[in-house]
C-alpha cells in the first residue's frame, strides 16, 4: 500500500462520495476501508469535540489520540452541528449528491433530526444509507445503547472464552470491528445492486447479529443436530486451541491433513509416530486426541521455539511462534509484506498504521490523506458543494 499524500484519486471506489457521521470504531473503520479503496470520505463531526475517539486512550498529538489515528485516515473532516437548523440543512444538501451515508447512532437519532433514510432518499433515491447499531431497528433492545463489551457479554462468547465461574472478555473491540467489516461488504453489495437497478437502499447492521454470526457459528456445532450429543462428551477438537510450551516460549500447532501430520512428526524427530495406527489418519487422531496431545506436549518441550518453528517450516508443517507485538513487528513476513508502515504526520510525527489487506492489480489502494484534525476540511468541502462564503461563515466554517 503506497503513501501518496494529496495524490490523484485512485482505487476501485474512485468517484464514490461517503458522508461518515460515525464515532469510535465500527463506523470509522468501515469508512476508512472505503477511503482506502478510493472513495471520497467526508467525516461529519459535531462541535465542540467531534468524534469521541479523538480523546480515547492515553497519549494525544495534533488534536487526536492514537486510537483515532488508527481508524480515520483517508478522510476529510467537516465540523457541522446537525442539531442546528442551518447544520441540518447543510447536511441535507451534501447528502443529495452523496452515494453513501454512514452512521452508528441509536436507530431513532437520525429520524429525530429529520435526516433519516426516508427523508434523505426522497431527495436522493440512489442513496445507500448504512446504520450500525447495537441491536438493529427491531426488538425490545432496539433503543438501548451498546458498546463492544455489552455485545460480547450478551452473545454468550465471554463465558465460552472463559468459564461460568470466570467469564473472559476479549481485550480488543472485536464486536465493533466485526460490525464495521460487515458494513463494508454489505455496502459494496448494495452499490453493485444499484448499478443494476439504479436504486439505493437502507442497510441496518446490528452489532449483536454480526458478532454472534462470526464467533458462534463454529462453536454452535454441538447444538446443530437434533438430538444433540451428550453435553459431557468431549469434542475431538478439545485441546487444539492452546499455546504449546517449548523450552523457551510457546508455539501454535495445527495439523489437519495426513501429510501435515507426517511433516510434523519428522520435525519433532519422531517420523515413526506417523505410522502409529492411532495417529495415521485424521479420524484416528480425532479418536485418540488425549494420547496425541500428551505426545505432542512432551516432544515440543524438548525444542526451543526458534528451532521447532524452523524445522516445521522446512518440513511443511503449520507451526508458528506465539509472538508478542514487538516480535510480530520484527517478523520477516511482516516486513516483506509491509503490513505495518509509518504515516509521516507533520505535527504528530510518524504514525505506524496497518495497510489495507487486499492487493488490487489494476486499482491499487493508497493513503492519500492523513487522519484529519477536527473541521480541517470544512471550508474546502462546503465550497466544492456550492456553498457561498456567507453560508460557510454562518455554519462556522
Give mean pLDDT in consecutive 10-residue pieces for the chain, a chain of 397 residues: 88 97 97 97 96 86 90 97 96 98 95 97 98 96 94 92 90 95 98 98 98 85 66 61 94 94 96 94 91 94 97 97 96 95 93 93 94 96 96 86
2-215+336-394 and 244-321 agree in CATH topology: no
Q: What pLDDT shows up at residue 390? A: 94
End-to-end CA distance of the chain: 33
Residue 211: C-alpha distances to residues 36, 102, 157, 331 (Å) = 24, 19, 9, 30
- Neighbouring residues of 364: CB distance < 8 A, sequence distance ≥ 6: 1, 2, 10, 11
CA pseudo-torsion sign 284, 288, 293, 295: negative
- Which secondary-structure segment (H or E) carries 148? helix 148-155
Q: What pLDDT shows up at residue 236? A: 55
Contacts 24+ apart (CB under 8 A), 245-248: 245/297, 245/300, 245/301, 246/300, 246/301, 246/303, 246/304, 246/305, 246/308, 247/301, 247/302, 247/303, 247/304, 247/305, 248/304, 248/305
Rg for the chain (alpha carbons), in Å? 25
CA dist 263 and 227 (Å) reads 38
Domain ranges of the chain: 2-215+336-394, 244-321
- Which secondary-structure segment (H or E) carries 319? strand 319-321
Fold of 244-321: formyl-coa transferase, domain 3 (3.30.1540)
Query: 129 forms bridges with which residues in the sheet?
Result: 101, 202
Give the global pTM: 0.93
The C-alpha cell at 104 is 452508528
CATH H superfamily, domain 2-215+336-394: Crotonobetainyl-coa:carnitine coa-transferase; domain 1 (3.40.50.10540)
Q: What pLDDT shows up at residue 130? A: 98
- Neighbouring residues of 297: CB distance < 8 A, sequence distance ≥ 6: 244, 245
CA dist 215 and 148 (Å) reads 14
Query: For residue 104, which of 180, 213, 201 has the smallest C-alpha distance?
Result: 180
Q: Give the number of other CB atoms < 10 A from CB of residue 243.
A: 12
Strand, coil or helix: 274: helix
Q: Give, to the nearest 10 degrees, the angle between helix 207-215 and helix 148-155.
A: 50
Q: What pLDDT shows up at residue 57? A: 75
How do residues 345-360 score in pLDDT, each as one tens digit? 999 999 999 999 999 9
Q: What pLDDT shows up at residue 361? A: 94
Q: What pLDDT shows up at residue 284? A: 93
Amino acid at each position: 500500500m503506497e503513501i501518496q499524500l494529496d495524490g490523484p484519486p485512485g482505487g476501485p471506489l474512485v468517484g464514490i462520495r461517503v458522508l461518515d457521521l460515525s464515532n469510535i470504531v465500527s463506523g470509522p473503520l468501515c469508512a476508512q476501508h472505503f477511503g482506502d479503496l478510493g472513495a471520497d470520505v467526508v467525516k461529519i463531526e459535531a462541535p465542540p469535540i467531534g468524534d469521541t475517539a479523538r480523546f480515547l486512550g492515553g497519549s494525544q498529538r495534533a488534536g487526536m489520540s492514537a486510537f483515532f489515528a488508527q481508524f480515520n485516515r483517508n478522510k476529510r473532516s467537516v465540523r457541522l452541528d446537525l442539531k442546528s437548523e442551518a447544520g441540518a440543512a447543510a447536511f441535507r444538501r451534501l447528502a443529495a449528491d452523496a452515494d453513501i451515508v454512514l452512521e452508528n447512532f441509536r436507530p431513532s437519532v437520525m429520524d429525530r433530526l429529520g435526516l433519516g433514510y426516508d427523508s434523505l432518499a426522497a431527495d436522493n433515491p440512489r442513496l445507500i444509507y448504512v446504520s450500525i447499531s447495537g441491536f438493529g431497528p427491531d426488538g425490545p433492545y432496539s433503543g438501548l445503547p451498546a458498546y463492544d463489551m455489552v455485545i460480547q457479554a450478551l452473545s454468550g462468547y465471554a463465558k465460552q472464552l472463559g468459564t461460568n465461574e470466570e467469564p473472559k472478555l476479549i481485550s480488543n473491540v472485536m464486536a465493533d470491528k466485526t460490525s464495521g467489516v460487515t458494513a463494508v461488504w454489505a455496502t459494496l453489495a448494495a452499490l453493485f445492486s444499484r448499478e443494476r437497478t439504479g436504486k439505493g437502499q437502507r442497510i441496518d447492521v446490528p452489532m449483536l447479529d454480526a458478532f454472534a454470526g462470526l464467533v458462534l457459528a463454529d462453536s454452535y456445532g454441538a447444538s446443530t443436530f437434533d438430538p444433540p450429543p451428550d453435553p459431557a462428551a468431549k469434542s475431538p477438537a478439545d485441546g487444539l486451541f492452546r499455546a504449546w510450551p517449548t523450552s523457551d516460549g510457546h508455539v501454535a500447532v495445527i495439523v489437519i491433513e495426513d501429510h501435515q501430520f507426517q511433516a510434523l512428526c519428522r520435525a519433532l524427530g519422531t517420523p515413526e509416530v506417523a505410522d502409529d495406527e492411532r495417529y495415521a489418519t485424521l479420524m484416528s487422531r480425532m479418536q485418540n486426541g488425549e494420547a496425541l496431545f500428551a505426545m505432542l506436549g512432551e516432544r515440543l518441550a524438548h525444542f526451543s521455539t526458534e528451532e521447532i518453528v524452523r524445522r516445521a517450516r522446512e518440513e511443511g508443517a503449520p507451526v508458528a511462534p506465539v509472538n508478542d507485538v514487538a516480535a510480530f513487528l520484527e517478523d520477516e513476513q511482516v516486513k516483506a509484506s509491509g503490513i505495518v508502515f509509518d504515516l509521516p504526520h507533520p505535527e504528530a510525527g510518524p504514525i505506524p498504521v496497518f495497510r489495507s489487506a487486499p492487493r488490487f492489480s489494476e486499482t491499487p489502494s493508497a493513503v492519500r490523506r492523513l487522519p484529519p484534525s477536527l473541521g480541517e476540511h470544512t471550508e474546502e468541502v462546503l465550497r466544492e458543494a456550492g456553498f457561498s462564503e456567507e453560508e460557510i461563515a454562518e455554519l462556522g466554517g
